[in-house]
Amino acid sequence: MAEIDGNTIIARALKTQGVEAMFGVVGIPVTTIAAAAQKEGIEYIGMRHEMPANYAAQAVSYLGTKGRIGAALNVSGPGVLNAVGAYANAWSNRWPMLLLGGSYEQNGHMSGFFQEADQLTPLRPFSKYAERAERIERLPIYIAEAVKKALHGVPGPSYIDLPGDLIAGTIDEDKVQWAPRVPDPKRTQSDPADVRAAIEALKTAEQPLIIFGKGVAYGHAEHEIKTFVEKTGIPYLAMPMAKGLIPDTHDQSAAAARSFVLQNADLVFLVGARLNWMLHFGLPPRFNPNVRVVQLDFNPEEIGVNVPTEVGMIGDAKATLQQLLDVLDEDGWQFPQDSEWLQTVKSEARQNAESVEHMKQEETSPLGYYRALRSINEVLPHDAIFVAEGASTMDISRTVIDQHLPRTRLDAGSFGSMGLGHGFAIGAAVANPGKRVICLQGDGAFGFAGTECEVAVRYNLPITWIVFNNGGIGGHKAELFQRDQKPVGGMSLDARYDIMMQGLGGASFNANNSEELDKALKDALAINGPSLINVPLDPDARRKPQKFGWLTTTRG
């Protein structure tokens, strides 16, 4: 039989396991893997840096519209090590992805080989699977095992260390140990007794609240969670990347009364979300000290973290929500719609929404956050994928930008990562050909990987970047830069990121007021390819006064 090389074996194995998109930076020894992947029908996107390549791969996995798992390809040594922070983001978010790293040849260990480094040790703490391939004929087995570990159980990233001599080596094709496609994970149901107990607990609550997270989005359970919310009649909070599972404009959304409902709910029904820092650990002062928790998660280790769980359901979100719906159909229960709780929640939400309305109407130059975000929200296509990062830019956008469809918002997530916007935007555009992607970033966030805009130009991806430019992290006035010691978080207030995009070949706009921003948005959204709108922002602009700081550090 004919000989086959390691590149082709790897590419065919990836295709078998459901990889349809790969993002990377090529060089010795992985360039030939990318070329082989293209021959096998895998879309390869050449990035400018390994960090956004890994962010793009995990975004593809989460969105689930381009194969079942995204892959990143990095060169050896510094290339793989550049990816560690982004790779760890997938671990924190519980997202699958596959990282393939070139590595020094097998006979080069401890001899100072080109880019020789221990790449496994820094990746293993964040990996579901991390191994060094040792035999060319077993390459498909390594890839199958990595994909199985990434997809099954609690999802997460997998890494395969690929020695250069295996990549370039050849073998008789009949000696290759081809592995079959790993089955998709099963949707496991929860114990029926726990499901019944959860409904019974809900019936005893006087001030219940449903909170659901990106685990529900990853499980494609949007129909079930919307139906459950509407049948129970209970107010809900969607975590940032769960926005759009139910349209943000839904009457039962308590987003505008977030602090109030968290503090006053006597029972929280937690679905596919974690009581970590993003939910203030479920503890006072942000939560009722006597709050009861009913929890649904596919990970049994997540049940009861930080706050004891009264009822814990362990199972797939989509399957278990359907079980809950079946129980509701049997007894016809709904939370009393004339309750004082519901009326108070709606009143609080209405008052909070009204409190920022004047900020949305302020016509200043430069603009403030709320007025600029209002312009974006008014023209954002309902099916656009919205990527946001950058402290206040991201946080305030959560309260102003409405998401209408599932898996249309990507942001910093549970790891609080910075620098992910470019990779997420490119991954989202590749995974959804032709769909508009909006990447909203503060100027600090944009600077992490701004040259990735060239990738969007090269592949003609319909991504519109919007850069809120307020002089760096936290905002800084121009006079602060005149001092000998510059502000530690300061960045050039007059930087023209639109001119940078123009130099890279994309469409560019600069918007100093709402009229210019409205026109720039209209023109940018009419362009099929990439564009960037630079928006000078008032350095003094802030979010509305908050009762609590963004991070609760007092526990108990």
Domains and CATH numbers, the chain: 3-175 (3.40.50.970), 192-349 (3.40.50.1220), 356-536 (3.40.50.970)
Q: How many residues does the chain have?
A: 556
Angle at alpha carbon of residue 395, lines to 374 and 273, rounded to 5°: 120
Contact 446, 82 (CB under 8 A): no
Specify the pLDDT at position 542. Answer: 64
Long-range contacts of 114-121 (CB under 8 A, 24+ apart): 114/28, 114/76, 114/77, 115/28, 115/75, 115/76, 115/77, 115/78, 115/79, 116/76, 116/77, 117/76, 117/77, 117/78, 117/80, 117/81, 119/76, 119/77, 119/80, 119/81, 119/159, 119/161, 120/159, 120/161
Give bridge partners of residue 132 from the DSSP assignment.
161
What's phi and psi for 488, nearest 5 deg?
-65, -30
Specify the pLDDT at position 553. Answer: 59
Contact 140, 175 (CB under 8 A): no
Specify the pLDDT at position 474. Answer: 79
Contact 450, 421 (CB under 8 A): no
Q: Which two tokens stand for residue 177?
A: 């140990």
Measured CA to CA, the distance from residue 195 to residue 331 in angstroms comes to 13
Specify the pLDDT at position 554. Answer: 53
Measured CA to CA, the distance from residue 100 to residue 167 in angstroms comes to 11
- pLDDT tens for the chain, 556 residues: list them: 699 999 999 999 999 999 999 999 999 999 999 999 999 999 999 999 999 999 999 999 999 999 999 999 999 999 999 999 999 999 999 999 999 999 988 887 777 777 788 999 999 999 999 999 999 999 999 999 999 999 999 999 999 999 999 999 999 999 999 999 999 999 999 999 999 999 999 999 999 999 999 999 999 999 999 999 999 999 999 999 999 999 999 999 999 999 999 999 999 999 999 999 999 999 999 999 999 999 999 999 999 999 999 999 999 999 999 999 999 999 999 999 999 999 999 999 999 999 899 999 999 999 999 999 999 999 999 999 999 999 899 999 999 999 999 999 999 999 999 999 999 999 999 999 999 999 999 999 999 999 999 999 999 999 999 999 987 787 777 666 777 777 887 778 889 999 999 999 999 999 999 999 999 999 999 999 999 999 999 888 765 555 556 566 555 4
Count CA within 13 A, CB hemisphere, residue 283: 14
Specify the pLDDT at position 556. Answer: 44
Q: Provide the residue type at 405 as one letter.
A: L
Distance of CA 272 to the CA centre of its chain: 14
Nearest to 177 by CA among 143, 151, 149: 143
